[in-house]
Amino acid sequence: MGAGMPAALTSGSISAETCRALRRCRPHLASLLSRGVAFHHSGLLPEERGAVEAAFRGGQALVLVATSTVAAGVNLPVQRVIFKHTHIGRQAGALLDPTRYRQMAGRAGRAAFKDKSICGESYLIASAAGPPAKLLGIVGAPLEPVRSCLSLHQRGLKRALLEAIALGLVLEPEEVALYGRCTLLAQQVSAEHVVATAREALAWLGQPAHPFIAWDKSLQVYRPLPLGLASLASGFGPEDCVGMYRDLQLAREGMVLLTDLHLAFLCVSPTEELAGGSPDGHRIGRLLQGLSAPDRETARRLGLTPGASLAAGTNRLSEDIARVAQRFWVAALVSQAIEEGDSAGVAARHGLTEADLQGLLERSARTAGMLASFCERMAWPEMETLLRQMQVQVLQGVAPEAHALTQLPFVGLPDEDELVHILSKPRAGADHGRAREGACPAQILPSPAFKATAVVDGDFKTVSLEDYKGKYVVLFFYPMDWTFVCPTEIIAFSDRVKEFQEIGVEVLGASVDSPFSHLQWINTPRNKGGLGGLSYPLIADLTKSISADYGVLIEEGDNAGVALRGLFIISPEGILRQITVNDLPVGRSVDETLRLLKAFQFTDEHGEVCPANWQEGADTIKPTPKDSQEYFSKQ
């Protein structure tokens, strides 16, 4: 592609930051970046994939080459999609189906292009010997009918019913039948069958062995129990929660904390499958026989006795013990990656790619966060604390004694080698901080990125700071739903949200409550303590990571675990222009927030500065010694 590459492709200029993120890629692939061509495949690390996508999204890379198994996940608008062939993946005979074709071809000509006249193009290249009818079938096939994600085997219905009870949509036995008949599943199969299955699912949720719900005899309604609320808060389905609940109860009776292995076991999903497949009994046996004393105690508490070690070596483990042993083996990978800090070395030692191991660490960190939310709802603070610390260790790949650095607000972690250098040489760390400060003298602080579930127009949606790039954003935190000062602030912003939108500003609210709590509070009338509707997104910071990143999370005392009344004005470039943090008893002013926004927008546009108590239309100051006299001479 070198000498013959069209001139248009050479206009892409890959930033130093992107090249730095891709420094570990093979040289002949990385060299393409300078010619405006990028690549995307499952062998890239998460930060490498992010850098490639950012380069393509920003116009630095003009061509993106992706493998068939990953192309469907690259959710970026393009002008042209080219399919090199009609098969997908490595399996012989696996052809591209109409659904996947539409998913990938649909990226062409999306509305994100500035020039609305551009039409997207899709090219499907196939062998000349291929039957044309098959190709036309891929391109022109009708859409597959929509099918309900609920199941007559109760799995989907259990969670759906639990959510409905938690939201107050299903309170009485008669409403169970009504709820079942209102589902899409009831329109696709027998409604009576769906109702009967829903009642069976309801009975399962109320079993004493795993009580998610209970019948309140005094009020004559169903109500969610702590286990049910923990299931919803964590994101685990009821069936998965049964096993997680058992594992956590066992850990609470005796957690081995001399190493990270026991915590790592909890953070590995029971259904985790590595790219290289499950280890055989011989490998598990060798692992169990070579454990240190603390790790042998962890194995014993999990049911992996010395007898299990011998049985594993001869592939004679029972089915249940084999599942625990395979999960234990994966947990050992996670623990080794944290302890050694060398994911590439650990991956190579176990026959994996570094990307495979990084994917495992990401999934384990996500599970740790979900478990921490589960423990919070179950009122197990000691387990919640351990799991949140483990989440950071797994996600950041840092030692326990260093992971506290990642909790500091507004601190961006450097690379691993640079972090070690800073930790071992205080002087170097100070120089590093000054260098970063001097690099951006005109900026205050970059706003921490976030991505979370929010209630938007009565529905659950994922929102991120990236969604609002190019606009001013007001992000405010409040302590808790169903309180006293909080609804007055939230309603005040909601009633005047049009004033913010008229000047190009988006408003976002956030607390550590669940999205279900948000939704019920929004739907409750104002005269009954609710919000009575809302005109902007309300973010559920269940993991408390957003509150912590913005420095407003209370970590000690009677109010530990909730956010202070922090308000942040974020510029279109993602820079924090204003920070206000109130103590819990005092609310904030919508008028003052609007005044500050108009002042910042005025200075952005005109280059002048606004004096104290400035109001729209009042005099401003030209920021030079001579020109400023024009303002001061009038005082």
Kindly report, residue by residue over 511-531, the tens digit of the pLDDT.
Answer: 999 888 899 899 989 888 889
Same-domain pairing of 13 and 113:
yes
- Are 518 and 481 spatial neighbours (Cβ–Cβ below 8 Å)? yes
Q: Which CATH number goes with the domain that contains 275?
A: 1.10.3380
Q: Which residues partner with 565 through β-bridges?
A: 582
Domain assignment present for 367: yes
Domain assignment present for 623: no
Q: How far is it, in rounded angstroms, from Cα 410 to Cα 254?
A: 37
Q: Which residues partner with 209 through β-bridges?
A: none
Confidence of residue 424 (pLDDT cuts 50, 70, 90): very low
Tell me which amino acid residue 562 is. Answer: V
Q: How far is it, in rounded angstroms, from Cα 258 to Cα 292?
A: 11
pLDDT at 284 over 80: no
Same-domain pairing of 391 and 253:
yes
Q: How far is it, in rounded angstroms, from Cα 587 to Cα 565?
A: 7
Confidence of residue 154 (pLDDT cuts 50, 70, 90): low
Give the number of domains in the chain: 4
pLDDT at 129: 54
Q: How far is it, in rounded angstroms, from Cα 577 to Cα 528?
A: 37
Domain assignment present for 542: yes
Domain assignment present for 99: yes
pLDDT at 375 over 50: yes
Task: Write the DSSP string, 573-616.
Answer: TSEEEEEEEE-TT----HHHHHHHHHHHHHHHHH--B--TT--T
pTM given for the model: 0.57
CA distances from 45 to 52, 86, 160, 359 (A): 11, 27, 35, 8
Q: Which CATH number goes with the domain that contains 122?
A: 3.40.50.300
- Are 236 and 367 spatial neighbours (Cβ–Cβ below 8 Å)? no
Q: How far is it, in rounded angstroms, from Cα 522 to Cα 516?
A: 10
**Eight-state DSSP code of residue 504:** T
What integer best gives the mean pLDDT of the chain? 81
SS (H, E, C) 187-253: HHCCHHHHHHHHHHHHHHHCCCCCCCEEEECCCCEEEECHHHHHHHHHCCCHHHHHHHHHHHHHHHH
- Phi first, then psi: give them for residue 297, nearest 5 degrees: -65, -40
Q: Residue 59: name the closest of 46, 44, 78 by CA.
A: 78
**Domain end position, chosen among 140, 169, 194:** 140
Same-domain pairing of 134 and 29:
yes
Domain assignment present for 409: no
Q: Which CATH number goes with the domain that contains 479?
A: 3.40.30.10
Radius of gyration for the chain, computed over Cα atoms and rounded to the nearest angstrom: 28
- Are 540 and 499 spatial neighbours (Cβ–Cβ below 8 Å)? no
Asked if 119 is an active-site residue, the reply is no
pLDDT at 472: 96
pLDDT at 412: 43
Q: What is the mean pLDDT of residues 219-229?
A: 91
pLDDT at 441 over 50: no
Q: How far is it, in rounded angstroms, from Cα 248 to Cα 223?
A: 24
Active-site position among 267, 375, 486, 610? 486
The predicted-structure confidence for 534-591, as pLDDT tens digits, reads as follows 999 999 998 899 999 999 999 888 888 899 999 999 999 889 999 999 999 999 999 9
Domain assignment present for 418: no
Tell me which amino acid residue 95 is. Answer: L
Same-domain pairing of 450 and 338:
no
Q: Residue 40: name the closest of 8, 11, 69 by CA.
A: 69
For 477, residues 6+ apart whose C-beta sits below 8 A from its C-beta are 509, 510, 511, 541, 547, 550, 552, 563, 564, 565, 566, 567
Residue 178 CB-half CA count within 13 A: 8
Instruction: Indicate the length of the chain as a whole number.
Output: 635
Same-domain pairing of 397 and 491:
no
For 237, residues 6+ apart whose C-beta sits below 8 A from its C-beta are 155, 158, 159, 231
Same-domain pairing of 194 and 121:
no
**Domain end position, chosen among 140, 173, 190:** 140
Pairing state between β 472-477 and 565-570: antiparallel
Q: What is the mean pLDDT of residues 444-465?
A: 89
Q: Which residues partner with 121 through β-bridges?
A: 80
Same-domain pairing of 462 and 549:
yes
pLDDT at 410: 43
Same-domain pairing of 525 and 485:
yes
Same-domain pairing of 185 and 113:
no
Same-domain pairing of 266 and 380:
yes
pLDDT at 101: 84
Tell me which amino acid residue 19 is. Answer: C
pLDDT at 277: 63
What is the dihedral angle through the alpha carbons of 493, 494, 497, 500, rounded to the nearest 10 degrees? 20
Handedness of CA 620, 622, 627, 629 (dihedral sign): positive
State the angle between helix axes of 319-340 and 354-377 in degrees (0 to 180), rounded to the nearest 10.
Answer: 110
Between residues 435 and 192, the one the model is more confident about: 192
Task: Please state which of the ranges 103-117, 173-187, 251-265, 403-417 shows the lowest mean pLDDT.
Answer: 403-417
Confidence of residue 78 (pLDDT cuts 50, 70, 90): confident
Same-domain pairing of 118 and 48:
yes
Q: What is the mean pLDDT of residues 260-275?
A: 86
Tell me which amino acid residue 69 is. Answer: T
Q: What is the mean pLDDT of residues 150-167?
A: 82
Domain assignment present for 264: yes
Domain assignment present for 74: yes
pLDDT at 69 over 90: no
What is the extent of the structural domain holding 294?
248-402
Q: How far is it, in rounded angstroms, from Cα 4 to Cα 174?
A: 72
Same-domain pairing of 77 and 115:
yes
